[in-house]
């Protein structure tokens, strides 16, 4: 039988409580104090002491995985699919490992967009200074000059980034299921210019600066005895804080802060920004959107903010499991009428493909995606 480090830490407290409870009424105060101490201990955080280091590879090869000729993620040595529960009873550690792999796959998909799809990575805001936070989108060479047609792709919310539909499908199924690459290649084969939005890249993360507290001993006009007392209290407070931090944050994970990207701080802002600076400037007579999940909500918000412009350039919109809501988003009657004529929402259903699915909302038709 193995005993975790967190159990060993708490064992003396439990023993003390048992001993005190056997005593008389004079021990009630001690019992109350110990109960208060236990209530302050975050057992979930304490269990982190038993974790292996959160130190993961930064390449697919380091994880010993690779995509095979079918675009499936497989272990280099065993040929097996990705295993989430790599370490039993360590869900947080397994989740961190999964997230680290996901970041590598995001970069891998970016490379495919540039190398396999021949898209260009375009930095935004277009007038960003060298020091400010930036994001990017991907465009085909003819995205702004193609006189006939332009395809715009918007993914959903969460961890996915440009070029992805679902990280889970990329890892557990294949690249064709989880990425936008098949859509991009077919669109380009059929003569479309292509723009791939990146609506979840809303901020960059930087480490929080450490706050330096000025020592009370700098107050030279205070009596020496008073300064010594304050310094002693300060040192004791710091000692307790460091002791608690040791167990609260045993892996010494960096505390991060978010710096939002100008005019791209949300998926909705991003869609409007890309419309104003790219799509609206394109030469294409016909613009087509494919928007998944939250991407559909972002498109409806774009329509609300740029109704006349969108109507003049957009020919059709294919939504997939869109989570837009014309009532909550306060889309007007003219927008709802346009959506009925120009949009279609393919939703998850057990019905045959393109079977009409009932909707409670008075906007675009809903049909089965299966």
Q: Which residues are tagged catalytic?
A: 293
Per-residue tokens: 189: 């084969």
């Amino acid at each position: 039988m193995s005993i975790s480090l967190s159990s060993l830490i708490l064992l003396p407290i439990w023993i003390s409580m048992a001993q005190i409870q056997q005593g008389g009424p004079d021990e009630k105060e001690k019992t109350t104090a110990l109960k208060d101490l236990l209530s302050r201990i975050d057992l979930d955080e304490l269990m982190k002491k038993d974790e292996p280091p959160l130190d993961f590879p930064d390449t697919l090869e380091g994880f010993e995985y690779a995509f095979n000729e079918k675009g499936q993620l497989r272990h280099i040595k065993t040929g097996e699919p990705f295993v989430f529960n790599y370490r039993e009873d360590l869900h947080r550690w397994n989740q961190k490992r999964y997230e680290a792999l996901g970041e590598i796959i995001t970069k891998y998909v970016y490379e495919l967009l540039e190398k396999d799809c021949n898209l260009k990575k375009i930095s935004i805001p277009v007038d960003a200074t060298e020091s400010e936070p930036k994001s990017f989108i991907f465009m085909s060479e003819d995205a702004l000059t193609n006189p006939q047609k332009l395809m715009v792709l918007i993914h959903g919310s969460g961890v996915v980034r440009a070029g992805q539909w679902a990280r889970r499908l990329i890892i557990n199924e294949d690249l064709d299921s989880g990425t936008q690459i098949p859509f991009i290649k077919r669109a380009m084969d059929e003569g479309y210019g292509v723009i791939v939005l990146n609506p979840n890249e809303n901020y960059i993360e930087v480490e929080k600066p450490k706050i330096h507290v000025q020592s009370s001993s700098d107050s030279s006009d205070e009596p020496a005895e008073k300064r010594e007392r304050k310094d002693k209290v300060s040192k004791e407070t710091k000692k307790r804080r460091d002791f608690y931090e040791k167990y609260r944050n045993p892996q010494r994970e960096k505390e991060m802060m978010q710096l939002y990207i100008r005019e791209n701080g949300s998926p909705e802002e991003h869609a409007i920004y890309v419309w104003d600076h790219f799509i609206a400037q394109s030469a294409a007579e016909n613009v087509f959107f494919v928007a998944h999940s939250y991407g559909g909500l972002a498109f409806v918000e774009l329509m609300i903010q740029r109704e006349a412009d969108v109507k003049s350039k957009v020919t059709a919109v294919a939504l997939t499991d869109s989570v837009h809501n014309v009532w909550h988003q306060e889309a007007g009657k003219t927008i709802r009428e346009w959506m009925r004529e120009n949009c279609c929402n393919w939703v998850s259903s057990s019905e045959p493909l393109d079977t009409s699915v009932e909707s409670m909302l008075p906007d675009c038709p809903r049909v089965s995606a299966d």
